[in-house]
C-alpha cells in the first residue's frame, strides 16, 4: 500500500467516524429533549399529587391498601400474625424481600400509610402491629 492509498483509506475512515458522530449527536439531542419533557411531566405530576393531598379531607384515601400486590403481601403477613409486632427488616425477611435501605424505605412508607389508615399500630418506634 502506498502513501496515496493510505491517505485515501484514512480519509474514508475519518468520513465514516464523522457521520457516526453526527448520528450520535442527533440521538443525544433527541434523548436530551425526551428527558427534559419526562422530567417536566414528573414535576407536574408531583405538584398535582401534592395539591390533591392538601385539598383532600383528612382520613380519605383514594384506594384501599390491598389493591397493590406489595400491600397485599404486607396485609397478609400481618393477618397471619395479628399479635406479632414487626420491624421493617423482619417483615422483609419474612416476605423474602431485599433488605437494602431503598427497598426497606419503600416498605416503611407503605407501613406508614397502613398506620394512618388505621390498619396497623406502632407499639414502639420502628415496630408495626395489626390494629386489633
pLDDT, one tens digit per residue, over 69-85 is 888 889 989 999 989 99
Q: Could you tell me the three cell numbers for 47?
A: 405538584
Give 41-67 pLDDT, tens digit per residue: 888 888 888 888 778 776 655 544 444
CB neighbour list of residue 114: distance below 8 Å, 6 or more residues apart: 65, 71, 74, 75, 120, 128
Give 82-122 pLDDT, tens digit per residue: 899 999 999 999 988 888 888 888 899 889 889 998 889 99
CB neighbour list of residue 71: distance below 8 Å, 6 or more residues apart: 65, 110, 114
Please give the helix or strand (H or E) that residue 128 lies within, else none.
strand 127-130
C-beta separation of 95 from 84 below 8 A:
no
Amino acid at each position: 500500500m502506498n502513501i496515496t492509498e493510505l491517505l485515501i483509506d484514512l480519509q474514508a475512515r475519518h468520513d465514516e467516524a464523522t457521520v457516526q458522530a453526527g448520528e450520535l449527536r442527533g440521538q443525544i439531542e433527541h434523548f436530551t429533549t425526551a428527558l427534559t419533557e419526562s422530567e417536566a411531566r414528573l414535576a407536574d405530576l408531583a405538584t398535582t399529587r401534592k395539591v390533591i393531598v392538601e385539598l383532600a379531607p383528612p382520613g380519605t384515601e383514594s384506594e384501599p391498601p390491598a389493591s397493590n400486590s406489595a400491600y397485599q403481601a404486607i396485609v397478609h403477613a400481618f393477618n397471619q400474625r395479628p399479635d406479632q409486632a414487626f420491624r421493617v427488616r423482619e417483615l422483609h425477611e419474612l416476605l423474602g424481600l431485599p433488605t437494602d435501605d431503598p427497598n426497606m424505605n419503600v416498605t416503611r412508607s407503605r407501613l406508614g400509610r397502613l398506620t394512618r389508615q388505621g390498619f396497623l399500630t406502632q407499639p414502639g418506634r420502628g415496630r408495626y402491629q395489626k390494629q386489633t
